[in-house]
Structure 1
Amino acid sequence: MSALEIQHRDPGTLARAGVLRTPHGEIRTPAFVPLATKATVKSLLPHEVAELGYDMVLGNTFHLFLDPGHERIRRFRGLHEFMGWRAPIITDSGGFQVFSMGHGTVADEVKGRAPMGQERMGKILAIEEDGVAFRSYLNGETLFMGPETSMEIQGALGSDIALVFDECTPFNVTREYTQRSTERTHRWLDRCLAWHDARGPEGQLVYGISQGGVHEDLRVESTQAVASRPVDGIAIGGSLGADKPQMYEVVSWATAAIADDPRPRHLLGIGEVDDLIRGVELGIDTFDCAMPTRLGRHGVAVVNDPERRWRVDLTAGRFKDSDEPLLEGCPCPACALGYTRGYLRYLVHARELTGQRLLTLHNLAYLSRLMQRLRAAIAEGTLAATAAALRAGELP
């Protein structure tokens, strides 16, 4: 039985709305998931994130493994108690972070060592069938992560949803390597499921991850292979293409391959406004991305301006004397309390933490309202018109 109860479907697309049930509560879908990378949504308190309308956050297995360590978090009775967020948590597998450090001898295949000069802090040392050896970016210590390690860490964290360990191939590897890597990811999936069946926390959901890069046959085969396993959900990861049209095509291959599957679908690392709209149309139930919080920390606000990627960069000097609000009618603290773009620009320029907090609150509030609009439109049968209005920059 699927953890996702699909309550509404859009007749013109693969979009669907419902409720995803987990041990720590329900997630209204489709939903955006803010990142709590190191056991916190940066600059915000848990109740502030909840009050913005979010049901779930994402913790980062790799970073929490390095510091403070999963055993320490276990002694605090898990990640929920450790960080004071007692609603659902999804944890990634750590695979993306491990492989984003650099593949070293990826072209030389599994048993190679990193080339001279690359054996330094924060680098992969070897990719083997058992897993990946790498140097910690904190202190250069040699560490190992494989399927069982990843699942053990996520078990100690006690997340509601755990993602299996996978290899995230970079965009520039060959089709042959992508195929071999994808097949290895499927073997790692089986090992993750075996570990979880024997030792995993009761009630924790496990998502498999579709790979295959930008090759249609490999992506479809991988998605079907993941769906053939007893996973609780299916995530779409890896290289999604060089631009937005290619990304939408890759995602469409995956969701079309499991169009009738009732299990939840998660799109990894995607959170731009237009990508969320299109992703919902393609049948994605949940998304995660660092975009809104990272932009806020760097002085950028999400606004109704599709011609500028829905962004306004307050670091620009032209906002020094601006008495405009960030977004008229926005209920976030930055807008509701009447702060001007000029004042927020000053805070950003002065590197005041208040500015980072206000912009982070605003950006997350914007995406929360966006997802609310999409959920309501699916339920009301108005998704086509609503999506067109949102793409035109009409979000009250």
Structure 2
Amino acid sequence: MFSIRTRAPGSYARTGTLKLAHGEVRTPAFVPLATKAVVKTLEVREAEALGFDMVLGNTFHLFLTPGHELIRTFGGLHEFQRWDKPIITDSGGFQVFSMGHGTVADEIKGRAAQFVGERSGAILGIEEEGVTFRSYLDGSTRFMGPETSMEVQASLRSDIALVFDECTPFHADREYTARSTERTHRWLDRCIAWHAEHGPEGQNLYGIVQGGVEEDLRRASAQEVVAREYLGGIAIGGTLGETKDQMFTVVEWTIEELPEGKPRHLLGIGEVDDLVRGVELGIDTFDCAMPTRIGRHGMAVVPDPEKRWRVDLAKARWKESDEPILDGCPCPSCEPGYSRAYIHYLLKAKEQTAQRVLTIHNLYYLQRLMAELRDAIDEGRLPAAAAAVRAGAAPWELAGAR
């Protein structure tokens, strides 16, 4: 399933190949979100043409609409959305808990929350069996637990399914985080039991390491997940801290407990500098909403670390600018030579073309970055390439970094 090709001296970084039912994924790789069976604003062939090997679908959203039963009648998510490469599905845990964690003090204290928020989506109760919540679509009461998540993902027939876990917020105290992590481990065993009996042929199951920002809890959770040999890979989830330094300290604690031979997925991380650091720490796959989300809000990814690798083309300063989106970028959005003034105009006119153009550019940028980092590892020049990115080099400039 997973083979390592090259290990970078002096770091955990490696290149490899993840062999799945619907094809191979070159690692390390960025995985764009196709949350609701579509990469937002793009047609499936456009996402494929950008060079991505895998996309991520979301169990929670697809469970609510159109429903896994309907998708099952089409033969699964690949046939439904007409994507014939690998798909990983998030278990729905993050989305379920994001509706209530952080807004309900009683839940953080360990008591089941009974409330109705201003939004229709809200957690109504957390119990050993699973989570009862209010649908953000129609306010109906729904339930998701380990077996539900596994059943939905089996119907979706994704190449990689993730176990159902509780994603605790940063401000949860140690006592709650410990109880939550222990419950996640019990849910892990229930997911494995269901999947071992009912999971579709060829679907790999990944465990998820939790434990918040507590070193002993993180390491213990990693050891618990590693002990389940049934799992095909390991994801790192939950809160990773308030700062980037803390985040990657937590990631490194986890990596130190993981076996070499299983693929590692870092959930929800995709900023340019975070991808570079994650690669150095031996992460094989990443997913994040960042490139599509900021594209829909008028921002382009650019090689500018001082401005967090992005430029906001909705700002008035670009109204008359003849600069391209990004000079020298060979992506399908930059190649026609659209000016920043034109993109600014489209954004102000609320033309969806602007969102598409920026989304394509942003996804291309991250895909090219990962491809260049793979080459740098294989050619023994990762330190120079990483330093160049941090200094403001564009991905297509990394081939000369030595």
3-state SS of paired residue (2:311): strand
Aligned to 1:288: 287
- Whole-Å separation in 2 of the counterparts to 1:248 and 1:189: 24
- Whole-Å separation in 2 of the counterparts to 1:84 and 1:136: 27
- Whole-Å separation in 2 of the counterparts to 1:114 and 1:378: 51
Deviation at 1:47, TM superposition (A): 1.3
Tell me which amino acid in the other structure corresponds to 1:242. Answer: E
3-state SS of paired residue (2:333): helix
- Whole-Å separation in 1 of the counterparts to 2:119 and 2:281: 41
Aligned to 1:244: 244
- Whole-Å separation in 2 of the counterparts to 1:17 and 1:368: 15
Q: Does 1:59 align with 2:57?
A: yes
Deviation at 1:256, TM superposition (A): 1.3
- Whole-Å separation in 2 of the counterparts to 1:213 and 1:298: 30
3-state SS of paired residue (2:126): strand
Deviation at 1:4, TM superposition (A): 1.2
Aligned to 1:156: 155
* Equivalent pairs, count: 391
- Whole-Å separation in 1 of the counterparts to 2:152 and 2:325: 41
Aligned to 1:147: 146
Per-residue CA deviation, residues 231-283 of structure 1 (Å, 9 max, x unaligned), is 1100000000001110011111101111x431000000000000000000011
Tell me which amino acid in the other structure corresponds to 2:13. Answer: A
3-state SS of paired residue (1:324): coil
Tell me which amino acid in the other structure corresponds to 1:247. Answer: M
Assess, with a 3 A threshold, how the Cα gap between structure 1 residues 52 and 120 changes in structure 2: closer, same or farther.
closer
Aligned to 2:400: none
**2:109·2:176 contact (CA, 8 Å) conserved in 1?**
no
3-state SS of paired residue (1:336): coil
TM-score, structure 2 as length reference: 0.96
Q: How does 1:40-59 map to 2 (within 5 A)?
A: 40-59=38-57
Deviation at 1:109, TM superposition (A): 2.2
Tell me which amino acid in the other structure corresponds to 1:135. Answer: R
Assess, with a 3 A threshold, how the Cα gap between structure 1 residues 317 and 119 changes in structure 2: closer, same or farther.
closer
Per-residue CA deviation, residues 91-144 of structure 1 (Å, 9 max, x unaligned), is 00000000000144313425x3424x5496211111000000011011111110
Tell me which amino acid in the other structure corresponds to 2:93. Answer: G
Tell me which amino acid in the other structure corresponds to 2:245. Answer: P
3-state SS of paired residue (2:355): helix
3-state SS of paired residue (2:344): helix
**1:210·1:235 contact (CA, 8 Å) conserved in 2?**
yes
**1:119·1:125 contact (CA, 8 Å) conserved in 2?**
no
- Whole-Å separation in 2 of the counterparts to 1:149 and 1:311: 39
Q: Percent identity?
A: 66
Where structure 2 has 5 or more consecutive residues not aligned to the other structure, the ranges are 397-402
RMSD, aligned α-carbons: 1.1
**1:120·1:135 contact (CA, 8 Å) conserved in 2?**
no
Tell me which amino acid in the other structure corresponds to 1:107. Answer: I
Q: Does 1:206 align with 2:201?
A: no
Tell me which amino acid in the other structure corresponds to 2:238. Answer: G
Assess, with a 3 A threshold, how the Cα gap between structure 1 residues 226 and 207 changes in structure 2: closer, same or farther.
same
**1:19·1:28 contact (CA, 8 Å) conserved in 2?**
yes
- Whole-Å separation in 2 of the counterparts to 1:234 and 1:372: 22
Per-residue CA deviation, residues 343-381 of structure 1 (Å, 9 max, x unaligned), is 111111111011110000000000011001110011001
Deviation at 1:78, TM superposition (A): 0.5
After TM superposition, what 4+ stretches of structure 1 lie above 2 angstroms from structure 2?
Answer: 107-110, 117-120
**1:255·1:283 contact (CA, 8 Å) conserved in 2?**
yes
Aligned to 2:87: 89
Where structure 1 has 5 or more consecutive residues not aligned to the other structure, the ranges are none
Tell me which amino acid in the other structure corresponds to 2:175. Answer: E
- Whole-Å separation in 1 of the counterparts to 2:332 and 2:262: 36
TM-score, structure 1 as length reference: 0.97
Tell me which amino acid in the other structure corresponds to 1:236. Answer: I
Tell me which amino acid in the other structure corresponds to 1:333. Answer: P
Per-residue CA deviation, residues 38-65 of structure 1 (Å, 9 max, x unaligned), is 0000111111111111000000100000
Q: Does 1:5 align with 2:39?
A: no
Q: Does 1:106 align with 2:107?
A: yes
Tell me which amino acid in the other structure corresponds to 2:367. Answer: S
